[in-house]
A and B are shown apart, each in its own frame.
Chain A
Amino acid sequence: MAGIVSYGAYIPWHRMERQKCVSAWGGFGMPGEKAVGYFDEDSVTMAVEAARDCLGDLDGRAIDGLYFATTTSPYKEKQCAAIMALALDMRRDVRTIDVNTSLRAGASAFGMAMDAIQAGSANSVMVTAADTRLAAPGGMTEQGLGDGGGAILLGSENVIAEIQGSYSITDELAGTWRADDDRFLRSWEDRMIMDEGYSQVIKEALTGIMKKYNLEPKDFAKVVFDSPVDGRRHGKAAASAGFDPSQIQDPFTLFLNVGITGCAQPLMMLALALEQAKPGDKILFAGSGDGVDAFILQVTDAIEKLPARRGVSGYLASKKMMDGYNPFLVWKGIVPQEEARRPAKTPARLSAMWRENRQQIGLWGIKCKQCGTIQYDDGAAATTPIRVCAKCGAQDNFDDYNFANKKATVFSFTHDNLAPVADPPASVVIIDFDGGGRAIFDLTDRDPAELQVGTSVEMTFRRMQINRGLSVYHWKARPVR
């Protein structure tokens, strides 16, 4: 039977008090804070991090499918899951799919994964979702939206929650939308889209799936589904389907600390629910957007043996409050920065990116077969994988060696206040990997004052630049927290 094998989440380190929006624009401030993806983060990097949290020590090469849900893809034409499969070290014959445009995309990808496993065409599928939606500055929507990602690994063995049923409805109402060339979210009047949209379809789907499987609200330990910015609507929708407040997976933890994370929200709420779930719990899980996909989950004993992970709780606890509102505008590219008075950055070369994609996106280095020295080529001068061992000079005689999950220690560092970066100084570190290998990387999610020789760092997947529309991804170091 198809079920959930593992879960994970990702929340950016930077958070902004909603009051900062009010300080900038005036108006009414909503409570809490929102997670703000750094200038080097997008939906691809966040989904990769959520999937890594979900994988833990599990082998990415054992997974048959990777479905990536987002409404904020960096590409209109070009699949992102293919990039992510390299970053997550998945097989060449993994089936990758991007699921886009609907806020239901996360739940829909979950349903597609379930179908593939039930049909026997896949033994396991990673579903990962992330969103970084923007609202035009100055409005309430801007305060409500946040950045984040969730990931659920589905499979047929060692499941921590069985999927016992599913039910979908489709409903055509453009409650929120972005046209092909829209940067910012559009919406219709709240009362109408809530009363005739969200509140109706949630009730219809929750009651519909219970009717289909002859279940009642009291059979469930938790009901987990997405919330609009106005969280009171969430509680009312659950109540209209017969659920007691004690059964509702509270949306406020995420709303007050992260914000509404688009199609990733249901997966992040499910991840949080699974952190707290006990064997025997029955969970009603749903995600809405142009209708609803709903699922019945039955938590198994295996959940108690699941290794620890950061999950939503871990990432919630690790944060840096932003000093002001302006960096948000810069990081999101809403307001341009003065260009550096220096030559432009080296442009992206597709051929070099292609030759080095395992090294750059997969963070693969080498271990010399002759002398055993572990090495990574950082791509600064190189445009091809390593051909010569730096220690013994052996040529093309190496084993592959992956650094993505290796921790490291800062050997040396610099903070460059002149380099053209969105959040100066540019912090660059030379790090020694546990187990061997020394390499130079950018340091991200850092407080310059905290960095020292000896600081413990880990690797995180980030976007280095966008050039001619090409998003160039690589890894950066970040302090372990």
Chain B
Amino acid sequence: MPGSIKDKVAIVGMGCTQFGELWEKGTTDLIIEPVNEALADAGIELNDVEAVWGGTLFSGNGGRTVSEALRLQYKPVTRVENACGSGHEAIRGASYAVAAGVCDICLPSVMKSSRMKDRADCPVCRIAPARITNQACPAFSP
């Protein structure tokens, strides 16, 4: 069906940070830890990822927030923001890339920290899930 991503995209791995008041963790940690978990969950390596969407509000500027933390090289990173929906924006962007057939594996990485040096924020989004999507699984169909 034109205009739908139904049955074209699947979540193949997920990860999440510890919940809590994580004074000792910065954005880098909030990216790396769930990404590691999601990669392990999917049974792939970071190199298998073709493109990244970083979703955050206030916790960093631009794609470098993700690329520097993971020391990504030559991977396109798109930074999206939509307040507390920033995470969903990242998933949506990554899903479209997969659905469009441009990428097989994309990584939406979503992080939020009110404890780092940029700005304070809404506490609802302090968690940092990371998900991996690819083709042909009905599990992810907004």
Chain A residues 347-402 with CB under 8 Å of chain B are: 347-349, 351-356, 381-390, 393, 395
A214 within 8 A of B: no
**Contact B71 A390, beta carbon cutoff 8 Å:** yes
Complex CA distance for A348 and B65, rounded to whole angstroms: 18
Shortest CB-to-CB span from B37 to chain A, Å, is 13
Q: Known contacts A346-B118, A348-B117, A349-B116; decide if A383 and B71 are in contact (CB<8 Å).
A: no
Closest chain A residue, CB of each to CB of B32 = A387
Q: Which of B25, B36, B47, B61 contacts A381 (CB 8 A)?
A: B61
B115 within 8 A of A: yes
**Contact B65 A381, beta carbon cutoff 8 Å:** yes
Q: Which of A351, A352, A388, A393 contacts B69 (CB 8 A)?
A: A388
Complex CA distance for A356 and B23, rounded to whole angstroms: 12
Contact digits for B74-107, partner A, Cβ 8 Å, 1 yes 0 no: 0000000000000000000000000000000000
Residues on the A chain within 8 Å of B119, using CB? 347
Closest chain B residue, CB of each to CB of A389 = B71
Q: Which of B28, B36, B47 contacts A383 (CB 8 A)?
A: B28
Shortest CB-to-CB span from A457 to chain B, Å, is 23
Q: Which of A384, A386, A393 contacts B46 (CB 8 A)?
A: A393
Q: Is the interface of A mostly helix, strand, loop or mixed?
A: loop
User: Which size class do A's interface residues fall under?
Assistant: 20 to 34
**Contact A353 B117, beta carbon cutoff 8 Å:** yes
**Contact A383 B116, beta carbon cutoff 8 Å:** yes
Contact digits for A436-463, partner B, Cβ 8 Å, 1 yes 0 no: 0000000000000000000000000000
**Contact B117 A393, beta carbon cutoff 8 Å:** no
**Contact B70 A388, beta carbon cutoff 8 Å:** yes
Q: Which of B26, B70, B71 contacts A384 (CB 8 A)?
A: B26
Residues on the A chain within 8 Å of B6, using CB? none
B134 within 8 A of A: no
Closest chain B residue, CB of each to CB of A396 = B32
**Contact B68 A381, beta carbon cutoff 8 Å:** yes
Residues on the B chain within 8 Å of A351, using CB? 23, 26, 115-117
Residues on the B chain within 8 Å of A395, using CB? 32, 36
**Contact B115 A382, beta carbon cutoff 8 Å:** no
Closest chain B residue, CB of each to CB of A388 = B71
**Contact B28 A384, beta carbon cutoff 8 Å:** yes
Q: Which of B28, B71, B115 contacts A349 (CB 8 A)?
A: B115
Closest chain A residue, CB of each to CB of B30 = A384
**Contact B68 A355, beta carbon cutoff 8 Å:** no
Complex CA distance for A385 and B69, rounded to whole angstroms: 9
Shortest CB-to-CB span from A70 to chain B, Å, is 28
Shortest CB-to-CB span from A381 to chain B, Å, is 5
Closest chain A residue, CB of each to CB of B63 = A381
B50 within 8 A of A: no
**Contact A383 B32, beta carbon cutoff 8 Å:** no
B48 within 8 A of A: no
Complex CA distance for A346 and B61, rounded to whole angstroms: 12
Complex CA distance for A390 and B68, rounded to whole angstroms: 9
**Contact A355 B24, beta carbon cutoff 8 Å:** yes
Chain B residues 9-30 with CB under 8 Å of chain A are: 23-29
Q: Known contacts A348-B117, A390-B71; decide if A382 and B61 are in contact (CB<8 Å).
A: no
Residues on the B chain within 8 Å of A352, using CB? 26, 115-117
Shortest CB-to-CB span from A394 to chain B, Å, is 10
Q: Known contacts A349-B117, A352-B117, A388-B71; decide if A381 and B60 are in contact (CB<8 Å).
A: yes
Q: Known contacts A381-B60, A382-B69; decide if A346 and B117 are in contact (CB<8 Å).
A: yes
Shortest CB-to-CB span from B64 to chain A, Å, is 5
Shortest CB-to-CB span from B67 to chain A, Å, is 9
Q: Which of A353, A354, A388, A390 contacts B32 (CB 8 A)?
A: A388
Residues on the B chain within 8 Å of A382, using CB? 26-28, 68-69
Residues of B within 8 A of A (CB): 23-29, 32, 36, 46-47, 60-61, 64-65, 68-71, 73, 113, 115-119
Residues of A within 8 A of B (CB): 346-349, 351-356, 381-390, 393, 395
16 residue pairs A–B, Cβ–Cβ below 8 Å? A347-B119, A349-B115, A351-B23, A351-B117, A352-B115, A353-B117, A381-B64, A381-B65, A382-B28, A383-B28, A383-B113, A383-B117, A384-B26, A385-B28, A390-B71, A395-B32
For the A-B complex with A351-B26, A351-B117, A383-B116 known, give 17 more contacts whose Cβ atoms are closer than 8 Å. A346-B117, A349-B115, A351-B23, A352-B117, A355-B24, A355-B26, A381-B64, A381-B65, A381-B68, A382-B68, A383-B26, A383-B113, A383-B117, A384-B26, A388-B32, A390-B71, A395-B36
